[in-house]
Amino acid sequence: MSPELLFRLHLVLGYVAWLLCFGVYLWPRLRSMTPFDAQRAIATLHSFRFFGLVFILPGVVSPGLPASFARFAAYGDFATGLLAMLALLTARIRPLFWLFVVAFNVMGTIDLVVDYYHAVRINLPARAGELGSTYAIPIIYVPLLMITHVTAYYRLLRPQTKAAALAAT
């Protein structure tokens, strides 16, 4: 099997595995939470996105990995992680919390979509070996991030019952 095919297979199976796990374990729990608590749980996961800075850490990825991919991935993750942390830090000031929840989800989604665009543009599957130890990020971590962004939007946009709206304030 070629490295390109392995990378694509890993990426697809990463989404399949997380969707299975999410459907059985995470979605029922998030669905049972108040909107505030669900968004706080999602923000907690995304607060670890500072780890994306590893894409620009010398010696971790190949120096041949295009900077257009590595820098945007690193700083997009970093910004998303900081916004998620700000959401968590402002949990007691609900209007600020909700502002940062929207901000980290929009920033994080843009980051992942643009990362996918850059990956296609540089033919990342054929260069997967250049990711070094960061190979696991797009395969294991990114699918969960994208799934939780979709979940966050769903929870933000769906109509709330009066009781849920009162609990969120």
What gap in Å lies between CA 11 and CA 139, rounded to an integer? 5
33 phi and psi, to 5 degrees?
A: -85, 160
User: pTM for the complete prediction?
Assistant: 0.91
Q: Tell me the pLDDT of the chain (169 aa) as tens digits.
A: 888 999 999 999 999 999 999 999 999 999 999 999 999 999 999 999 999 999 999 999 999 999 989 999 999 999 999 999 999 999 999 999 999 999 999 999 999 999 999 999 999 999 999 999 999 999 999 999 999 999 999 999 988 765 555 555 5
- Comparing C-alpha atoms, which of 89, 94, 82, 77 is closest to residue 142? 77
Tokens (6 digits) for 68:
């257009």
CA dist list (Å): 48 to 5, 67, 96, 151, 152: 29, 22, 20, 18, 16
What gap in Å lies between CA 97 and CA 100, rounded to an integer? 5
28 phi and psi, to 5 degrees?
A: -60, -40
